[in-house]
Chain A
């Protein structure tokens, strides 16, 4: 009898991974530049602010940040899984479709124009990043569709070209901007998880979790879609509908993540690959497990970013890129070999 994935075995694996995530989040909440006594934390909040500092650090500052990191990691990893399947390219990542440069352009526009209103507890920076990302993805989609029938290749090309074009504009704007403005932009471009307002966190958490559940409902069709257009159609998958749904949801959760944390690189590339190596390519399993492991990975790397140069902090994108860069090169070598076999 052939062993196939069942809903039950998937549920068990997902619960196991959630337990790992919970442990990682718990441990990372306890680590930091300030020593925190758990005993005091359990005593609950003091009657007046400042009475129980340990509680405020742990529950008020570190926990939201850890939750934020988990959300961003989950969003980027699941978006990576989905885009690799749609583009049938194992080297695709959530930023390949212009999301990064679009969001970057949004942020630098907000910085340079000095807009500083807030929106659902998020800053103008977040709102502009989100808008920039969504508009750019939409643009890439339109160009890709106009460019030709083999939509997959033209999408990739449109993404690469728009990315290059917008990056040039970002560089141009940063070089004419004042140095204090440049500083916050650059930190943002490197990926930076900072404490966020709890209501902003709530809204984003809702968006990201809903997006991931939506993607899970198309995940088995992604298996089929990864075989190619013709194969997918003869197996009864409405390719156009599936591709638009998956693409829109992936873009949406990536834009949400980017608006929270800036450009955190490599999570969307490295995590899906790592999980695929261990758990296989079945997207019904790959998607939820990548989301959870992506969350745990970013929580851990963000904790490193907090403590390596404590009390100062590194942008988390620096850590993920340092860990992810070499991994990417190994993958590249591996896959180019495979591609040369195929001619």
Chain B
């Protein structure tokens, strides 16, 4: 069953050419869905559309069989949790306080948490391994710890859908993998639908069931026949997005054309992996499309 349905979605910021044009895709319930693509391709814009922060100029978004604009802010927050890039709150909230804010869409007038709320918060703290520093202020945490707190908050919000904007962007290797394991666990054990923007195509290939690759603005070089679905851009004959499983989407040629960088490609099991090689990289001469 599709939990998110996007149909013919178009969006442009005022006085700019459209950043998303006629995008359609479905996200099946309980899957891990990645949104990839170069900077400026509209990934965060798409995420903001999916959480109702922006309204599309054309097309529709349906969340759990209901059009997104029919939800109240509160009802939508009971369906969709969002993790943005980690930040430090202005005021010095503790980890537990930040995580308990997840329960806002369920609270009554004066905002005191009941038993269910406390259980959800504690469970999320345990699941993300943040319970040990639950009483510490947010600003005393490292970037990786803070990101885990925000994921804990999204878990405690107890929504069917979790949207994440580059959850691993500032983290070292261990923490990147840790975050992906956490998300995968939420998907497999709790049946959550995870939609994550990512720059890490290798991790995405390893963890995600479906990939949406936004191919970026028409100015970029991309003159191939569209391999998958997606409308063609009239003048340059290129799709604005590709969708499918990692092994179909991430071919070396596709990566080189979409991201405009030479890559070394290898294989782990069925999945391709890629190492970008710049002009001055030690092994750039050996880089080839295998």
**Complex interface: stretch among A155-163, A197-205, A222-230:** A222-230
B254 to chain A, nearest CB (A): 32
Select which of A1, A3, A90, A237 is within 8 A of B91 by beta carbon: A90
CB–CB A238/B131 < 8 A: no
CB–CB B92/A237 < 8 A: no
Query: Which residue on A lies nearest to B97, using beta carbons?
Result: A282
A155 to chain B, nearest CB (A): 15
Alpha-carbon distance between A321 and B77 when the two chains are bound, in angstroms = 44
Query: Which residue on B lies nearest to A1, using beta carbons?
Result: B122
| B contact residues vs A (CB 8 Å cutoff) | 48, 51-53, 72-78, 80-82, 84, 88-97, 99-102, 104-105, 107, 109-113, 118, 121-122, 125, 131, 134-135, 139, 157
Q: Given A4-B97, A217-B109, are A234 and B80 neighbors across the interface (CB < 8 Å)?
A: yes
Q: Mark A200-236, 1 if CB is under 8 A from B, else 0.
A: 0000000000000000110111011011001101111
Write out the residue numbers on chain A whose beta carbons fall within 8 Å of the beta carbon of B77: 233-237
Alpha-carbon distance between A234 and B105 when the two chains are bound, in angstroms = 9
CB–CB B88/A342 < 8 A: yes
List the 7 shortest-distance A-B pairs measured between CB atoms, nearest first: A220-B111, A236-B77, A236-B105, A281-B91, A2-B96, A234-B82, A2-B134
Select which of A230, A235, A280 is within 8 A of B105 by beta carbon: A235
CB–CB A227/B89 < 8 A: yes
Write out the residue numbers on chain B whose beta carbons fall within 8 Å of the beta carbon of A116: none
CB–CB B104/A284 < 8 A: no
A234-B53, A237-B77 provided; 12 other pairs, C-beta below 8 A? A2-B95, A2-B96, A2-B99, A4-B96, A217-B109, A220-B107, A226-B90, A231-B82, A233-B52, A235-B77, A239-B73, A342-B88
Q: Given A3-B135, A236-B78, are A281 and B51 neighbors across the interface (CB < 8 Å)?
A: no
Write out the residue numbers on chain B whose beta carbons fall within 8 Å of the beta carbon of A196: none
Alpha-carbon distance between A231 and B101 when the two chains are bound, in angstroms = 10
CB–CB A2/B125 < 8 A: yes
Does A88 interact with chain B (Cβ within 8 Å)? yes
Give the bracket for the number of chain A residues in contact with chain B.
Answer: 35 or more
Alpha-carbon distance between A192 and B128 when the two chains are bound, in angstroms = 54
A88 to chain B, nearest CB (A): 5
Query: Which residue on A lies nearest to B103, using beta carbons?
Result: A235
Write out the residue numbers on chain A whose beta carbons fall within 8 Å of the beta carbon of B74: 236-238
Select which of B48, B73, B78, B81 is within 8 A of A238 by beta carbon: B73
* Most chain B beta-carbon contacts within 10 A, residue among A216, A220, A221: A220
Select which of A3, A88, A227, A236 is within 8 A of B76 by beta carbon: A236
